[in-house]
Amino acid sequence: MSIEVDVVRVFTDANGHHGNALGIVDAALVPADRRQGLAAELGFSETIFVELPGPGAASTRAQIFTPATELPFAGHPTVGLSWWLRERGAAVDVLEVPAGPVTTYVDHGMTWVRAKPDWAPEFTLHPKPDSAAVVSTRADSFDSGHQYVWAWAGEGAIRSRMFAPLMGIPEDEATGAAAVRITEHLRRSLHITQGRGSQIYTVYSKDGWVDVGGRVHPDRTLSA
């Protein structure tokens, strides 16, 4: 039986360009023990499996997989799924993922989620002197861990790239979890340009939460 996979791009620019591809799958169609294999087959940096909410439901559960492992939380899958559910008329206020309840909302045309920084993986931060040094970084410089290369690019703005080879992600185009971590590290709200030109926004709060948001654009539907 073929499985329908909706693909959206998360954290696009204002013109719908760039963004990180996300596969969205109805969890009812794939047994739990086959989800990792399907994520590997699809090859997106993350694929999210969602229990479709019933009418009027305020929350629903989801699981997130890279090609190599399950994640307790990730930013671009939760932002992308929240947008996708709203487009289907099935908006929820909370996405229940293994890390905890992820509050989601829309503001100024962007989809946002709220997360605790310790839900995200630890990233090794590599500050660079300028954006050119970030852009010139080679993906094959790293063979392990979660590596986040960044530089200031203006007031409250940074340029970044992220590499996680052991997760099956040589380079991630737009990483919400890393955005949460760098926001906590710098202790300020940010406008992040990552990868080829993806746009991520964060709001820092002293109460221990970080909001991460951006634009989502539909891409395609495929069968697996």
Binning pLDDT at 50, 70 and 90, where does residue 64 land? very high
What does the pLDDT look like over 108-123, one tens digit per residue?
A: 899 999 999 999 999 9
Q: What is the pLDDT of residue 103?
A: 98
140-187 pLDDT tens trace? 999 999 999 999 999 999 999 999 988 888 999 999 999 999 999 999
Residue 19, pLDDT above cutoff 90:
yes
Instruction: State the virtual CA torsion across 213, 217, 61, 6 in degrees, nearest 10.
Output: -160
Q: What percent of the chain has pLDDT over 70?
A: 100
Return mean pLDDT, the chain. 96
| 41 in active site | no
The pLDDT, as a whole number, for residue 185 is 97
For the chain, give the number of residues: 224
What pLDDT sits at residue 166? 81
Averaged over 19-38, what is the pLDDT?
98
- Give the residues across from 106 on adjacent strands: 111
Q: List the one residue out of 45, 63, 72 whose CA is nearest residue 198.
A: 45
Question: How confident is the model at residue 63, as a pLDDT?
Answer: 98
pLDDT at position 218, please?
Answer: 97
Which residue among 4, 41, 46, 70 is the active-site one? Answer: 46
Selection from 100, 17, 119, 21 nearest residue 61 by Cα: 100
Strands 70-71 and 46-50: unpaired
